[in-house]
Homo-oligomer: A and B are copies of this chain.
């Protein structure tokens, strides 16, 4: 921790800061400049609350030196985390990127869901996505089929062998969701719903954690840390776009540099959701491929058997035909670049 004192800080104020830090077990190095004094406090940040130092008189600013997450950090674990499922699917490391695809919401029409699931399977996808519990900005929008939706997902799983990823929105629903889901999704709006993070941290299912719409990488990894600290180390991160300067050309700004940044700072796998990340159908192909080239461990893509009648996010959902064309294009690229086999990611 680095403590920058105000230019006019008195010796007494400086000594008070030093004493408090020493009392808390920190080693102190003083750095007296011409204008400012800077105190370097060496030790574990958790020994003292930085804000309790920041509130002392004469302190201008407290800067953290070490990233505040531990379990999620690359420093705590050098090798990439790889999450393996009983059917052999692996997410992370140099494994072939996975495809999670399916409708935004699970709807009553099971045949449609099954058509999508079969298309995902046929195109080489591993995981069926679909929302049973739906976070909706407006109370007047479709709120999801809830339990009924979970049942349909379970049925589609048993018919296709695909794994299931689906969102949980509340601790109360977690037991229900965890029964069906192979991967439990935490949505972007709940990235800092800490009670929910702790609750999934006590599950034994892998968790897909979406980045909040205005979250820094540090906040994102701290959210993962909440889950890991509660006991669940199987966290898959998901970049899905952040609020940017232009909300009219795209729904969000897809931050693809976040992929290699996270690979540097964390050992956790990270996938990309170009459907929410752009909100425009015509952008899904270029952004899917760019995401894989950036080093993404997988993609999450919205596909609907009939987007014109979808109960949510139709405009960014692909038809089954468009999805097949996308997968052809992606597979073609991955084959040519040798990414479509194990030990395969581009930006290692």
Known: A75-B35, A286-B259, A287-B294. A51 touches B214 (CB 8 A): no
B229 and A55 contacting across the interface, CB-CB below 8 Å: no
A308 within 8 A of B: yes
Q: Which 3 A-B pairs have the closest CB atoms?
A: A214-B214, A55-B314, A54-B315
> Smallest CB-CB separation from A241: which chain B residue?
B257
**What band does the interface of chain A fall in when counting residues whose beta carbon is under 8 Å from B?**
35 or more
Checking B40, B213, B230, B310 against A52 with a beta-carbon cut-off of 8 angstroms, the contacting residue is: B310
Interface string of A200-230 (1 = CB under 8 A from B): 0000000000000111111100100110011
CA A46 to CA B4, docked complex, whole Å? 19
Query: Which one of A83-91, A114-122, A135-143, A148-156 contacts B?
Result: A135-143
Contact A52 B308 (CB under 8 A): yes
- Which residues of the partner chain B approach A283 to less than 8 Å between Cβ atoms? 257, 260-261
Interchain CA distance A33-B44 in the complex, whole Å: 9
Measured CB to CB, the closest approach of chain B to A35, in angstroms, equals 6
Q: Chain B residue with minimal CB distance to A198? A: B139
| CA A53 to CA B289, docked complex, whole Å | 28
Are B192 and A68 in contact (CB-based, < 8 A)?
Answer: no
Say whether A7 contacts B189, CB under 8 Å. no
Task: Give the contacts of A11-70 with B (CB-CB under 8 A).
Answer: 20, 29-36, 38, 40, 42-46, 49, 51-52, 54-56, 59, 62-63, 65-66, 68-69
Q: Is the CB of A32 within 8 A of B42?
A: yes
A171 on interface, CB distance cutoff 8 Å: yes
Q: For residue A169, which residues in chain B have a CB less than 8 angstroms away from its CB?
A: 193-195
CB distance from A175 to the nearest CB of B (A): 12
Known: A283-B257, A314-B55. A216 touches B136 (CB 8 A): no
User: Is the C-beta of A242 less than 8 angstroms from some C-beta in chain B?
Assistant: yes
* Bound Cα distance A293, B254 (Å): 15
Distance in angstroms between the alpha carbons of A253 and B340 in the assembled complex: 29
Q: In the bound complex, do residue A249 and residue B139 qualify as a contact, i.e. CB atoms below 8 Å apart?
A: no
A248 at the interface (CB under 8 A from B): yes
Q: If the complex has contacts A36-B66, A49-B142, A312-B49, are A261 and B249 also in contact, measured as CB distance less than 8 A? A: yes
5 pairs from A and B in contact (CB 8 Å cutoff): A2-B65, A45-B140, A216-B245, A286-B346, A290-B293
